[in-house]
Amino acid sequence: MDEKRLDCVHMTRRSIPSIDRLIQQYSDCGLPRGFLTAVIRKAVNEHRREAGTTEHLNASIRSAISGWKQQRIQPVINATGVVIHTNLGRAPLGQGVGEKLVQTGTQYSNLELDLGNGKRGSRGSYVEEALAILSGAEAATVVNNCAAALVLIIKALTERKKEVVVSRGELVQIGGGFRIPDILESAGATLREVGTTNRTSTKDYEKALGPETGMILKVHQSNFQVSGFVESVSHGELKKLGGRKRCPVVFDLGTGNLFPGLEVEGTATEPTPMQAINAGVDLVCFSGDKLMGGPQAGIIVGKRSLVSRLKKNPFFRALRCDKLILSGLQEVVEAYLGEEDGPVSPVAAMFEISADETKARCSSWKNVLSRSGLKMEVVEAPGTVGGGSLPGSSLKGFALAVRHVGLSAKKSLDFLRGGEVPVIGSIQSDRVLLNPRTVLEHQDPIVLKRLKELGQWEGLA
């Protein structure tokens, strides 16, 4: 380093406020002190390297603080109309489930204690039995999520016979990084593809089954639709075939629709685990936090002998659920089995909202905001099920379309997302759409307050 440069470094060093002073200055920023200290140290180090101004240093600290604060998990308001929104945490849990989580989480519980004899008990045996009863299966168990359930099933059922027979029409990608062929490979199984993308027949399966077949896997096409010249083999037919060849049939159902009456415009009704079990499928797996409306979990229901095999596999221990999940799930399953009046979960309640109700709610929002300066219109806008469930489906309803006279829809959307409780909307024809279906009723005042602020905002900050 030449002398001139050294000089310069010394000068800026002298002008750097001390770390302690900076921590003091930003102490009420909302980040814990240890985190804030690390943020400031990092910014100061960069500042030393780059020899910028103090203003520059402060600007970079402020931006790091606000960036990290936005990444903390916090409540947001879902005004997208997408009920199972994976980016927004999928199914919101009901009040009762929330209370159960607090109760289990803040005290000791009988998680693995048999209260009858005081000896070690089995984790989750009640919720497993309840899930079996609910789905009409012999037995059930629970792991972390449906992807984990599938890995466990493949691991356990292909220990000796490695081949898994899957239709080419079902070699799908479900969400980020979840591809059926990759899952099979990573679980050490061999993929045996049958049929074509659009057509697979019973004969195709029949030809593929042999001494090496460990299982037949059917994957629910939960997040896309194929139409036209298509043929697939129902899980019922597969069961007949599997039964003849003494080969277990597994159905990765994913979505986990437990409402037999769920009818959403524009789709064939989503299959239920009960139907698959009824048809004789050996194992069915589905998510807890999609249509079921519970916490993240992978639920496996089916034949007792196979479920026991899964539970004896070493992977089961690695994929097991926490007490919070098991007790939350217990609450949800009990709501289904309780057959009480009213929706079983907030997700179910959102499905039941009528188009008229969404219209009335939009109109009342519009009334409250009549002097906000925003241009508003109540427009027809369907909600969707989301979460890769019922593709092409729509839930008839209305949304409030909002336009700020001086700002683009994108800027307005960003502003709504930037409040103390972020409001997440969508954009259509250069307007912000706010769909009331997914806004919990107690959140209305927050949405309205933020919209009023939007009306007054000049777009400068």
Which positions lie near ligand PLP, rule CB under 6 A?
Answer: 145-147, 174, 178, 219-220, 222, 252, 254-255, 287, 298, 388
CA 388 to chain centre: 10
Compute the least distance from the CB of residue 285 to ligand PLP, in Å.
8
- Residue 227 CB partners (closer than 8 Å, separation 6+): none
In 3D space, the residue among 230, 246, 232, 179 whose CA is nearest the CA of residue 204 turns out to be: 232
Q: 179 or 304, CB closer to ligand PLP?
A: 179
Q: Residue 346 or residue 391: which is nearer to ligand PLP going by CB? A: 391
- Tell me whether residue 145 or residue 438 sits nearer to ligand PLP (CB atom): 145
CB of 91 to ligand PLP, least distance (A): 11
For ligand PLP, the closer CB: 166 or 416 = 166
C-beta of 288 vs 397, nearer to ligand PLP: 288
Select the residue whose beta carbon is closest to ligand PLP and give its number. 254
3-class DSSP assignment, residue 256: coil
Q: By the 8 A CB rule, do 283 and 128 touch?
A: no
The nearest distance, CB 423 to ligand PLP, in angstroms, is 26
Question: C-alpha angle 155/158/163, rounded to 5°?
Answer: 125
Closest distance to ligand PLP from the beta carbon of 192 (Å)? 19
Cβ closest to ligand PLP, residue 128 vs residue 252: 252
* Cβ within 8 Å of residue 107, ≥6 positions away: none
* Alpha-carbon separation of residue 444 from 185, 266, 411, 439 (angstroms): 47, 29, 22, 7
CA pair distance 421, 416, nearest whole angstrom: 9
State how far Cα 292 lies from the chain centre.
12
Least separation in angstroms between CB 452 and ligand PLP: 37
* Tokens read off for 168: 């080419």
Give the residue with the Cβ less far from ligand PLP, 121 or 391: 391
Residue 114 tokens, joined: 């048999």
E strands, 28-156, in order: 77-78, 82-84, 139-143
User: How near is the Cβ of 175 to ligand PLP at its closest, in Å?
Assistant: 6
Q: How far apart are CA 237 and CA 205, in angstroms?
A: 11
Kindly state the smallest distance separating residue 149's Cβ from ligand PLP, in Å: 8
User: Shortest approach of ligand PLP to residue 128 CB, angstroms?
Assistant: 18
Q: How far is the CB of 59 from ligand PLP (least distance, A)?
A: 40
Q: Could you tell me which residues come within 8 angstroms of residue 362 by beta carbon, excluding any fewer than 6 positions away? A: 378, 398, 399, 400, 436
Closer to ligand PLP by CB, 80 or 222: give it: 222
Q: CA–CA distance from 320 to each of 184, 255, 379 (Å)?
A: 20, 20, 46
For ligand PLP, the closer of residues 64 and 325 by Cβ is 325
Q: Are 374 and 402 in contact (CB under 8 A)?
A: yes
Residue 44 or 300 having the CB closest to ligand PLP = 300
Minimum gap (Å) between residue 101 Cβ and ligand PLP: 19
Beta-bridged to residue 401, according to DSSP, are 377, 433
Q: Which residues contact 389 (CB under 8 A, 6 or more apart)?
A: 84, 222, 223, 254, 255, 257, 270, 290, 291
